[in-house]
Amino acid sequence: MTTFNGPDYFWKGAQTLKVPMELFKLNRQRLCEALRAHRTLPSESFVFLQGGASEMRYCSDHEPLFRQESYFHWAFGVIEPDFFGVINVHNGESILFIPRLPSSYVAWMGKIKETDEFKKIYHVDHVYYVDELEKVFNEIVGTSKLILVLNGLNTDSGKESKAASFEGMDKFHVDKTTLHPIISECRVFKTDFELDVMRYANKISSEAHKFVMLNIKDGMHEYELEALFQYYCQRHGGMRHMSYTCICATGENPAVLHYGHAGAPNDRQLTSKDMCLFDMGGEYYCYASDITCAFPVSGHFTKEQRIIYEAVLDANRQVMKSVRPGVSWTDMHLIAERTQLEHLKAAGLIQGDIDEMMNVRLCSVFMPHGLGHMIGIDTHDVGGYTDPQTRSSLPGLKSLRTNRLLQERMCLTIEPGIYFNQGLINNAYENEEFKKFLNRDEINKYLHVGGVRIEDDIVVTNDGCELLTVVPRTCDEIEEWMKYNDKQVIDKIDYKLFDELNKKHQYKNQDLTVKNK
């Protein structure tokens, strides 16, 4: 089965999603319309983008698995490395420049596609070779017309986008400031085509989380659960890439926000007493999902685990009920904080006036991160801050990955959490503003919970939001689902049973679509 089927769509075969090439044609059209609306831009302008480059790992001859540069993918949908692309802003005409591969490529890497083949696959108007860049630019651009290149700050990563270039480009008129904010803003708002891919990525990743929950066992290692998730995503969803490094945290590890990195590679052996925090998402054709599920290894919540879990779930749902166009994401974060503080106070972990706690930013002790982030082709998608200078400096709020007013077709994650990070809590005991609110004896009873995060992906609609993630969320739903754990689905490779359970338990998470008045 080929990756592309004729000239119409990307497809990984079997039951996987067919993605029409019209998605990228529409993206280019939207970009051209936005650029033409720019008052100072000459009518004869050309967007020039550079795709991701093939590379070798350090000094070896090992080539890492390639994943396309996100802006280039958004505009062209190209899966191969070392491409360049041009878009005529005036008429939307598109050009791809492909590497001229040596004849030895056939033996080691496979068939060499010709220019006409790429033209049909990617629905572009012209295809040339990279070594023809200067020649073609002389013919179609000349020295009098403007070339727009991508150069600007990603407010999430703090890294600069790479401006496309080629030898001899210095003789052309190049603009490095106009393109970045406009194409980034285009990426913020998803088309129907893009939403279909994101729904699919969420569907498969949701099922993969449920698959892990059915197969977790006392004595396993965290990396085994990571392997099960990745297996399901690729086997049943055609997802070769994960959206990010999987976080498979158990025991005390859920208190570490980005556990799973090279220094802590999901290597702990879990026990039946542990709480799990599994933050994992697969991507399909570069479109991401980002889902976190928290649940007990045993399949049954203890009193303390249930109290913390229900606090986080309430925060998640209160935000979801409040989301609509025009609301502030900062306000959504504050709703989550207040909800969680109220639960912690009711359980006796904290004491005092909630408003005063909010003023001194007490919740940052238990949730040091922001409520969520934009999501799309990048897990932490672009466009979070239109002005980086507006980022808050206050604890918790300074970690928000966006502070924008929500608009229809924005896609975000909602991921409140409560964590018992011993270092942060010990510091809070020494903080004059915090310590009077903290009940050390009660907090100590909850340290074994580690942490709970509940993360869902949503798209903002005209009157609320659509929930893309479909997993068991209430404690009762989780316990009901996990009672089938003793069937050992993975050990028996009993996919028929898994499919039957999926049909029996249709989790709507209190309705997939939330309409807010």
Q: What is the pLDDT along the chain (517 residues), one digit of tens a residue?
A: 446 655 699 999 999 999 999 999 999 999 999 999 987 888 789 999 999 999 999 999 999 999 999 999 999 999 999 999 999 999 999 999 999 999 999 999 999 999 999 999 999 999 999 999 999 999 998 877 999 999 999 988 889 998 999 999 999 999 999 999 999 999 999 999 999 999 999 999 999 999 999 999 999 999 999 999 999 999 999 999 999 999 999 999 999 999 999 999 999 999 999 999 999 999 999 999 999 999 999 999 999 999 999 999 999 999 999 999 999 999 999 999 999 999 999 999 999 999 999 999 999 999 999 999 999 999 999 999 999 889 999 999 999 999 999 999 999 999 999 999 999 999 999 999 999 999 999 999 999 999 999 999 999 999 999 999 999 999 999 999 999 886 555 554 556 777 778 888 877 654 445 555 4
> Residue 487: its pLDDT value, please?
58
**Burial annotation 376-401 (CB, 10 A radius, 16+ → b, else e):** bbbbbbbbbbeeeeebeeeebbebbb
Nearest to 246 by CA among 276, 285, 286: 276
Biggest distance spanned by C-alpha atoms of the chain? 76
Pairing assessment for the beta strands 464-467 and 456-460 based on DSSP bridges: antiparallel
The pairing of beta strand 275-280 with beta strand 247-250: antiparallel
CB-CB neighbours of 160 under 10 Å: 12
The Cα-based distances of 402 to 271, 302, 330 in angstroms read 37, 35, 8
Please give the model's pTM, rounded to 2 decimal places: 0.94
For the sheet with 4-5, list strands across it.
4-5, 9-10, 19-20
Helices 303-322 and 329-346 cross at an angle (nearest 10°) of 150
Question: Mind listing the domains of the chain with CATH numbers?
Answer: 4-188 (3.40.350.10), 192-515 (3.90.230.10)
Write out the two tokens for 307: 């109290």
pLDDT for res 254: 98
- Residue 477 contacts by C-beta under 8 Å, 6 or more apart in sequence? 505, 507
In Å, how far are 48, 50, 113, 194, 287 from 80, measured between CA atoms? 17, 12, 11, 20, 16
Supply the pLDDT for residue 158: 86
Task: Note whether 28 and 87 are within 8 A (CB).
Answer: yes
Confidence at residue 498, expressed as pLDDT on a 0 to 100 scale: 76
Looking at the DSSP bridge assignments, the partners of residue 413 are 457
Give the pLDDT confidence score for residue 517 in this predicted structure.
40
Q: What pLDDT is recorded for position 445? A: 97
pLDDT for position 506: 76
Structure tokens at 81: 């490395």
Task: Find the helix or strand (DSSP H, E) in which 513 lies.
Answer: strand 513-515
